[in-house]
C-alpha cells in the first residue's frame, strides 16, 4: 500500500509529519496520529478543515518580489473522495484543499490553522 508523508504546518512554525495511506484522508491520518485539526461535515461541503498546499515533494511554493506565493497545483498532490463542493475553482487553483476528503498522491506540506480558513472565508452555504 502506498503511503505519503504529509507535513502539517501551524502558525508560529510548529510542524508535524504524518504518514497517510492511499485509502485514507489527511484528516483521518491526522486523527490517527493525534494531530488536532478542525473539521465539521466530513463531506467537503463546509470549509472548516481547509488547508493550503505549500509544497509537493521537494518543491516549495515560491514567493515573488511582492512576497506573494505562487500557488501550487493541488490536483497534482491530491485526489478527492467526492468533489470538494465548498471550494471554488479559483480556490482550488490557489492550492486550497479540504482535508476531510483529500487523499495525497505525493509527499507534501500543508499550512493549516485559522489564518488559512480566514483567507477562504465562510462556507458558500453559511
Q: Which domains does the chain have, with CATH numbers?
A: 3-120 (3.10.20.30)
Average pLDDT on 17-33 reads 96
Grid cell, residue 39, equals 473539521
Answer yes or no: pTM beyond 0.75: yes
The pLDDT, as a whole number, for residue 71 is: 67
pLDDT of 126 over the 80 cut: no
pLDDT of 62 over the 70 cut: no
Q: Which of 111, 104, 112 is nearest to 24 (CA)?
A: 104
Q: Among positive and negative, which fits the CA dihedral 90, 96, 100, 104?
A: positive
Q: Residue 34 — left, alpha, or beta (φ > 0 → left; ψ -120 to 50 → alpha)?
A: left
Residue pLDDT, tens place only, 77-111: 899 999 999 999 889 888 999 999 999 999 999 99
Per-residue CA distances from 16 to 41, 95, 112 (Å): 24, 19, 11
Amino acid at each position: 500500500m502506498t503511503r505519503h508523508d504529509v507535513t502539517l504546518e501551524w502558525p508560529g512554525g510548529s510542524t508535524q509529519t504524518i504518514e497517510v495511506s492511499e485509502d485514507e484522508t489527511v484528516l483521518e491520518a491526522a486523527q490517527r496520529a493525534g494531530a488536532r485539526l478542525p473539521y465539521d461535515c466530513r463531506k467537503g461541503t463546509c470549509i472548516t478543515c481547509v488547508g493550503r498546499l505549500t509544497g509537493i515533494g521537494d518543491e516549495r511554493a515560491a514567493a515573488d518580489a511582492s512576497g506573494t506565493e505562487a500557488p501550487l497545483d493541488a490536483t497534482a498532490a491530491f485526489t478527492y473522495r467526492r468533489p470538494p463542493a465548498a471550494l471554488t475553482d479559483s480556490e482550488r487553483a490557489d492550492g486550497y484543499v479540504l482535508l476531510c476528503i483529500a487523499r495525497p498522491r505525493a509527499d507534501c506540506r500543508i499550512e493549516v490553522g485559522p489564518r488559512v480558513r480566514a483567507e477562504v472565508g465562510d462556507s458558500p452555504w453559511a
